[in-house]
Amino acid sequence: MNLPNKLTLSRIILTIVIIILCLFPFYSLGFNFPKLNIGGIIVNSNYLIAGVIYIIAASTDFLDGKIARKNNLITDTGKMLDAIADKVLVNSVLVIFACSGFIPAIVPVIYIFRDEVVNSIKMDLGNKGKVVAAIKSGKIKTATMMIGLGLMFFYNLPFELINLKVADFLIYFALIMSVVSGVEYYLMWKKTK
């Protein structure tokens, strides 16, 4: 288990912490996270804490790849773990925000549906000995979604103070790029038939 793989694994562990912070009923244990008033916007402090952890987890996505490439530590296990860690982090957070009413439920449905279709395409091509690298639209989708979700943890602040819905825009743009990249993967797969 090299350093990049350890960083990737830490992303999965941090995701579990985020899920607990956002969804566990701490009130049933007699504990309530304080609510803060920031410029007239009421925010739950557990989301702010989860947001900091989310930023750390999302940063490991950049770091693990950079360290792996720099030190020639790229492995098949690392590639697989990285893809799983990305999906676990982003899909879990999308579901959390849908359950909490921050975004419509259709957003994680489309996003996760696309992921499953693309995973099936990659598995089919992999079974034929063809390695499918991440495509540009997929990378744009992931980066945009990660930034949008990060802002959502912080209630779109400071942009919310001037009524600029940056988090929403980034999440919906990423959703569009998700569909676009899904179609690109499908067309790539269709050419092999």
75 contacts 99 by C-beta, under 8 angstroms: no
179 CB-side CA count, 13 A = 9
Indicate the number of domains in the chain. 1
CATH number at residue 127: 1.20.120.1760
Distance CA(45)–CA(23), nearest Å, equals: 13
Please give the chain's pLDDT, 193 residues, in tens. Answer: 889 899 999 999 999 999 999 999 999 999 999 999 999 999 999 999 999 999 999 999 888 888 988 998 888 788 888 888 989 999 999 999 999 999 999 999 999 999 999 999 988 988 888 877 778 999 899 899 999 999 999 999 999 999 999 999 999 999 999 999 999 999 989 988 7
Partnered with residue 44 across adjacent β-strands are 35
Q: Which domain holds residue 55?
A: 3-190
Q: Are the CB atoms for 88 and 152 separated by under 8 Å?
A: no
